[in-house]
Amino acid sequence: MKQPQGAENFIAEQKKILSENSECASSSYNLGVGLMEQGRLDEAIDAFNDAIDNSGRMFEGYVNLGYIYFKKGDLEMVVESNKRAIEIEPRYARGYANLGFAYLQMSMTDEAIEALSKGIELNPDMVQAWSNLVNAYLQKGDVEQAIETGKKLVALAPDFALGHNNLASAYYNNDDYQKAIEHLDTAVSLGFEPHPEFLKVLETYR
């Protein structure tokens, strides 16, 4: 894929600034963003680490590192990067949400619930965090909390298809098949493609 000339020029320009002043954190950061957008993830990691080394407050650098490590499938480094981001910026809701998602993938359920709950407390509008919290309660086996959380989510975002799917899953786990069908149908009507097995299992209760 040919890169647009603008991006190449931008990267060259940031490298030039850095060669003249290697401790310019914002140029390292900008370089990292340019490289990340081109998919040059390993080079971007180096640039963001340089930015962080040269600025004690470079919380955005950690945020982007978290995203890159997520793309690379390194969940432990996703956790590490987002922990550092929220140490610097304790009111950064998305950092807690990212942390919670990583913990959920690692089956560290209690940590996931704590981080997601904190993220939602800071920013109640993060529908993806609510959705992950439903899954975290299901992972823990706390079906009642999963249902309560799912109900809050669909009240907050009635057109969020994944939310209805997750609430359907919670109701199914509570043997409330009619409500599960109702929310699964809503999810489908909003364009969601549920797991074929889930569709098949609920078919028997229609």
Can you give the pLDDT at residue 21? 56
Can you give the pLDDT at residue 18? 55
In this structure, what are the phi and psi dihedrals at residue 197, rounded to the nearest 5 degrees?
A: -65, -40
The torsion defined by the Cα of 149, 174, 170 and 172, in degrees rounded to 10, comes to -150
Rounded CA separation 104/110 (Å): 9
Can you give the pLDDT at residue 14? 64
Can you give the pLDDT at residue 180? 97
Contact 65, 29 (CB under 8 A): no
Which residue is associated with the tokens 């910026």? 89
Contact 136, 129 (CB under 8 A): no
Rounded CA separation 21/34 (Å): 18
What is the 3-class SS of 7-58, one letter each residue? HHHHHHHHHHHHHHCCCCHHHHHHHHHHHHHCCCHHHHHHHHHHHHHCCCCC
Q: How many residues does the chain have?
A: 206
Which is it for the CA torsion 121, 126, 130, 133, positive or negative? negative
Can you give the pLDDT at residue 24? 65
pTM of the model: 0.82
Can you give the pLDDT at residue 5? 54
Name residues of the chain where pLDDT drops below 70.
1-6, 11, 14-24, 56-57
Residue 89: which region, alpha, beta or left (left: phi > 0; alpha: psi -120 to 50)?
Answer: beta
